[in-house]
Structure 1
Amino acid sequence: MQDDNILKLAYELSETTRNKVDLIEKIMRQTQILALNARIEAARAGVSGAGFGVVAQEISHVSTRINQIAADFRVDVDQYAAQIQEAGTRMSSELRGQRFTDLSRNVVELIDRNLFERSCDVRWWATESALVALAENPEDQDLQSLACSRLATILRSYTVYLDLWVVDQNGKVIAQGRPETYPKALGSDVSSATWFRNAMATRHGDQFAVADIETNPSLDDAPTATYATAIRDKGETHGKAMGVLAIFFDWTPQAQTIVSGIALDETERSHCRVMLLDARHRIIADSRGEPSLKEVYSFNPGTRDKGYDIVEDRIVAFARTPGYETYKGMGWFGAIEYQM
């Protein structure tokens, strides 16, 4: 960045000046020694060397004066260089803080737009006739087979999902798209899952439920973003909730692409950690590798929707989710930590 070049030039100017002052002082020390020797020789010469002694004395005075000027100059240069470096460092930190704040906003906006599409998918697919028919007749094995086939067809086109489930009113999974890959799912009881209860409680077909990023035992403990909505009687928007469609977004590769692909130069990339944080500040995506989903990142946004803080030798920039269209977001943050 340009401000780094300014700091570099200020440092080089300061170093060059110090070196030149050192050289001047060295020459003046040599001059004083020569003047001293000249005075000694003049004293030995007696009256005939008196005039030469006066010249030597003056040379010594000039040398002392130049040494004092050089010393004063060194002090002035050090002070001004320190001020330039301090101002440059502050300017650099402010520019980087603002830039990383914008990039943090970009990170969370990208994931919001992606997850908005997931909310659209679940509401649309919940009106699929095969899924509606099964929700209305959950014990019908032919309808179960048809629903599984339809879910498998969707998954072949939408590769960002781990699996899709149809759940009856009691919380039993009665159809899925990938029974061979995830055999634990079919027949499992998800009635205690928050996303199931919230989906059954939706008032109409335009509403949906979404859960925080969590690992799912029935999906080989893969981290998932779960979206769910009620499957309604006859597929009508205000029909009675007959069951639930749950879709499981394959979180890790999609989120990793976003935090790793943010526009940083090579120097920034080696000093930056780009993250997505949930509302509890858990790290749910990390440019340094797959997060544990247990680490909580320590920062203090307060009531700010975006901004940055300088903490010791770090810049911590963040931006809270703005949501996207009908997806309001979940209070997540994009965050960038920069080691100065």
Structure 2
Amino acid sequence: MDGTNFTLRQRSAALPGAVDGSADGGDATPERVLALVDRAAGIAATKVEAIQAITSQTRILALNATIEAARAGDAGKGFTVVAGEVKAVAAEVARLSTEMNGELRDAFRALKTVGERMAAEMSGQRLVDLALNAIEIIDRNLYERTCDVRWWATDAAVVEAASRPDAANCAHAASRLGVILSAYTVYLDLWLCDREGRVIANGRPDRYPGVAGHSVAEEGWFRDALATSSGDDFAVADVMPCDPLGGVPVATYAAAIREGGQPRGRVIGVLGIHFDWAPQADAVLRGVRLTPSEQGRTRALLVDVAGRVLASSDGQGVLAEMVRLPAGRGGHGFAVEPGGRTTAFHRTPGYETYRGLGWSGVIVQEPARQAGR
């Protein structure tokens, strides 16, 4: 009996305790909650196993007591009753521990399922918010471009050169455009075009000597600007490589140059400004606030209305890759693929008078377990 008592005491001392203080030292994230659910489920299962083992030993003790009472004859009859009660109690504890094990297992399974859904929803919505932040920054940046082009189209030197495109006026306009470029470094070049679409002056003739005389008559931004109804309007083209500027991707904004610089004046030319797209877009995508653990498994993208990649944080697929956005209400949403990849997006909300071109910010994130594969 002494050996059995020692075994019981030893087993009780070996039972694992509740979740220790180290559980409070982790990050307050959905993933941490799920890890704690798994830990609690493991502790509960271990406790139940320990209770069942103790119950089994109790039944053995009751059996041994019954045998010893039988050997004692009449003197052991009272002890037989006690042994029977101990056996019944052990059986009831065994039944309850079995029920508890099943109920706890089901409860923890359901809790983990809910936790996984919450974690996916919170993670997905956070990525949507990051996508929104990226496209909003771009929108505000491009809104400023629309203001620039409408303002500079009224510059006296620009208007004079469009009105009387002689050599002196064109040279003065080119000089004036160069001064503007020295202060606005986000542009590659500024082009002053006549009504026929011929570039008659540009701000960086030394860097781009082949621009003067170049025809933009077939460019959409030129035709759209020529057709605007007032000086409050502007035209814009999607990001495309510009051959006269060395094939560099540019976002081109344009406004009509009007007689006398007046908002309703007769159209006498077009000013096109070429935004240096890549470094500006890259800066926005590099600024997406990812945690250190996310950086190696996450791509931040800007895509046009057709899903064409305009910029990517890893520099891959620019102007070539097509991305299929998940379905979403209100121009935003996310989807998780069976393998765990999450794609989140938010379509441009526009900014002030700039409605945008239907572009979207996109975040594509691989699951943590696949990082580095």
Output one character per residue of 1:30-49: Cα deviation in whole Å (capped at 9) or x when no partner: 7778889x69xx69xx9469
How far apart, CA to CA, are the structure 1 residues paired with 2:73 and 2:52?
28
Aligned to 2:177: 151
Aligned to 1:274: 300
Aligned to 1:194: 220
Aligned to 2:312: 286
How far apart, CA to CA, are the structure 2 residues paired with 1:34 and 1:337?
62
Aligned to 2:42: 15
In the TM superposition, what are the counterparts of 1:29-108 in structure 2 within 5 Å? 47=71, 69-108=96-135
Match of residue 171, structure 1, among 179, 190, 197: 197
Instruction: Give the secondary-structure state (helix, strand or coil) at the position aligned to 1:304.
Output: helix
In the TM superposition, what are the counterparts of 1:107-256 in structure 2 within 5 Å? 107-138=134-165, 140-256=166-282
Label 1:270 to 1:74 Cα distance change in 2 as closer, same or farther (>3 A): farther
Instruction: Give the secondary-structure state (helix, strand or coil) at the position aligned to 1:199.
Output: helix
Q: State the AA in 2 paired with 1:325.
A: E
Q: Are the counterparts in 2 of residues 252 and 290 from structure 1 also a CA contact under 8 Å?
A: no
Aligned length: 336
Shift of 1:261: 1.0
How far apart, CA to CA, are the structure 2 residues paired with 1:34 and 1:281?
74
* CA-based RMSD: 3.1
Question: Please, which runs of 5 or more residues in structure 2 have no aligned partner?
Answer: 1-27, 368-373
Aligned to 1:330: 357
Q: Are the counterparts in 1 of residues 326 and 343 from structure 2 also a CA contact under 8 Å?
A: no
Instruction: Give the secondary-structure state (helix, strand or coil) at the position aligned to 2:197.
Output: coil
How far apart, CA to CA, are the structure 2 residues paired with 1:156 and 1:291?
32
Overall identity of the aligned pairs, in %: 42
How far apart, CA to CA, are the structure 2 residues paired with 1:71 and 1:127?
85
Match of residue 258, structure 1, among 284, 302, 306: 284
Q: Which has the higher contact order (CA 8 A, sep 6+)?
A: 1
Higher mean C-alpha deviation, range 26-35 or range 305-314? 26-35
Question: Please, which runs of 5 or more residues in structure 1 have no aligned partner?
Answer: none
Q: State the AA in 2 paired with 1:250.
A: D
Higher mean C-alpha deviation, range 177-186 or range 201-210? 177-186
Q: State the AA in 1 paired with 2:123.
A: R
Q: State the AA in 1 paired with 2:157.
A: A
Shift of 1:237: 1.7
Q: State the AA in 1 paired with 2:182.
A: R
Label 1:327 to 1:56 Cα distance change in 2 as closer, same or farther (>3 A): same
Output one character per residue of 1:165-195: Cα deviation in whole Å (capped at 9) or x when no partner: 1122222222112223233323222211111
Instruction: Give the secondary-structure state (helix, strand or coil) at the position aligned to 1:91.
Output: helix
Instruction: Give the secondary-structure state (helix, strand or coil) at the position aligned to 1:151.
Output: helix
How far apart, CA to CA, are the structure 2 residues paired with 1:211 and 1:49?
105
Q: Are the counterparts in 2 of residues 107 and 259 from structure 1 also a CA contact under 8 Å?
A: yes
How far apart, CA to CA, are the structure 2 residues paired with 1:296 and 1:285?
11
Is 1:321 aligned with 2:348? yes
Q: State the AA in 2 paired with 1:251.
A: W
Instruction: Give the secondary-structure state (helix, strand or coil) at the position aligned to 2:330.
Output: coil
How far apart, CA to CA, are the structure 1 residues paired with 2:73 and 2:342?
70
How far apart, CA to CA, are the structure 2 residues paired with 1:148 and 1:290?
36
How far apart, CA to CA, are the structure 2 residues paired with 1:49 and 1:299?
84
Report the TM-score when normalising by structure 2: 0.78
Aligned to 2:323: 297
Q: Are the counterparts in 1 of residues 135 and 347 from structure 2 also a CA contact under 8 Å?
A: yes
Aligned to 2:23: none
Label 1:60 to 1:183 Cα distance change in 2 as closer, same or farther (>3 A): farther
Label 1:63 to 1:199 Cα distance change in 2 as closer, same or farther (>3 A): same
Q: Are the counterparts in 1 of residues 302 and 311 from structure 2 also a CA contact under 8 Å?
A: yes
How far apart, CA to CA, are the structure 1 residues paired with 2:94 and 2:324?
53
How far apart, CA to CA, are the structure 1 residues paired with 2:72 and 2:47?
39
